[in-house]
Amino acid sequence: MTTDSAWRTEAVRKLEADGNRSADTHLFRLELAGIPEIELYFKDESTHPTRSLKHRLARSLFLYAICNGWIDKGMTVIEASSGSTAVSEAYFARLLGLDFIAVMPKSTSPEKVQAIEFYGGRCHYVDKGSEIYSAAEKLARETDGHYMDQFTYAERATDWRGNNNIAESIYRQLARENHPVPEWIVVSAGTGGTAATIGRYIRYQRFQTRLCVADPEISVFYDSFLESRDDLVIDAGSNVEGIGRPRCEPSFVRGVIDHMVKVPDAASFAAMRVLAERVDHLPGGSTGTNLYASLQVIRDMATAGTSGSVVTMLCDPGERYRETYYADDWLAEKGFHIQPYRDQINRFLDTGDWQEVEP
Ligand SMILES: *Cc1c(COP(=O)(O)O)cnc(C)c1O
């Protein structure tokens, strides 16, 4: 099949023009009063036009698919997603005049569904997170459409050596800081694409920075890393939207990761709330996971007497989770006890003293 070359040329121009109209995302600091020798930064990915780090991924996936001749004029684009990717892809599909269908677990937050529909996308629900892949493949066959498959292609659709990817942007923005080369960059993994891009960039640039990946409770990534296995599967979906997977996704590149931390879901939600109280930004759940893992890395640096900087990410905005992670009755109903972790985090931020939480 050869794609319509006039359409393709125009589609690439529209994507590039959209990028050219957009600004870079900010790097802001969280004050660590109790650990003054260490600086913690958040790359705020919630300021993209579609409000999450998936904006970068969606643009890359469309460019990759179009340049590969996989998407043509009038085609339907289908994606398996826990929500954020579908929001961003719906935006780009509309920009290109393509129909878009998101295949999502029925537990996906109503705010994300609204955002997808706002951009003209349609939502197709499945009962469990593990069913999204086969349902998306089936829809693609039935509609003669293209299944984007972020979990396979996230890792390779992004230019990892530079081209203003997220890693290059972080290092550029750190240039005038006390410690321009961070000791650690801490991210969480959904596709694993962000970790792959940052990890490869660190090595390509020969930086001493190490990459830590935080995994939520219900996910195989942590065990897959520890045991060097790609065949682990579980039959449940993560409680932290956007991160943690029931299978070892092809885009999860273990070899670029230096360290992994398993974060209890209650700790993620506690960290998210603490951050919301201390900065003028409202983070989503995975940002809490990132913060909690970052604090453990910072604790270990402080114990070892190392000063330096740590960079993590604000992945998406808390407005999407007002009815869930920010609702006390939702947390209670699901059995998440966040108070012990809140106390632990506040104490550590204020005094530098880390007290373990009794399980
Ligand atoms: C996708 C996602 C992540 C993880 O990013 P990947 O590059 O897919 O690993 C983190 N937080 C949120 C909210 C996400 O949607």
Phi/psi of residue 259, nearest 5 degrees: -155, 145
Q: What is the pLDDT of residue 130?
A: 85
pLDDT along the chain (359 residues), means of 10: 86 97 97 97 97 97 97 96 93 98 91 94 92 95 97 96 95 98 98 98 98 98 97 93 95 98 98 98 98 98 98 96 96 98 98 93
Query: Atom 14 in ligand 1: which residue has the minimum CA distance?
Result: 242
pTM, rounded to two decimals = 0.97
Ligand 1 atom closest to 84 (CA): 15
Query: Atom 12 in ligand 1: which residue has the minimum CA distance?
Result: 242
What would the two tokens of residue 167 be? Answer: 């890693």
Average pLDDT, the chain: 96
Q: How far is the CA of 244 from the centre of ligand 1 (A)?
A: 9
Tokens 């993620």, residue located: 268
Nearest one of 357, 354, 278, 358 to 34, comparing CA atoms: 354
Q: Is the CB of residue 315 below 6 angstroms from any atom belonging to ligand 1? A: yes
What would the two tokens of residue 184 be? Answer: 């650690």
| Residue 279 CA neighbour count, 13 Å, CB half | 24
Phi/psi of residue 286, nearest 5 degrees: -65, -25
Pocket probe mutation, ligand 1, options 60, 81, 84, max atoms within 8 Å of Cβ: 84
Q: What is the pLDDT of residue 273?
A: 98
What is the DSSP secondary structure assignment for residue 334, as one 8-state letter?
A: H
Q: Is the CATH number 3.40.50.1100 carried by domain 8-47+159-351?
A: yes
In the three-class reduction of DSSP (H, G, I as helix; E, B as strand; rest coil), residue 151 is classed as helix
Q: Is the CB of residue 272 below 6 angstroms from any atom belonging to ligand 1? A: no
Q: Which CATH number fits domain 54-154: 2.60.120.260, 3.40.800.20, 3.40.50.1100, 3.90.1300.10?
A: 3.40.50.1100
Chain region(s) in the chain for CATH 3.40.50.1100? 8-47+159-351, 54-154
How far is it, in rounded angstroms, from Cα 343 to Cα 195? 30
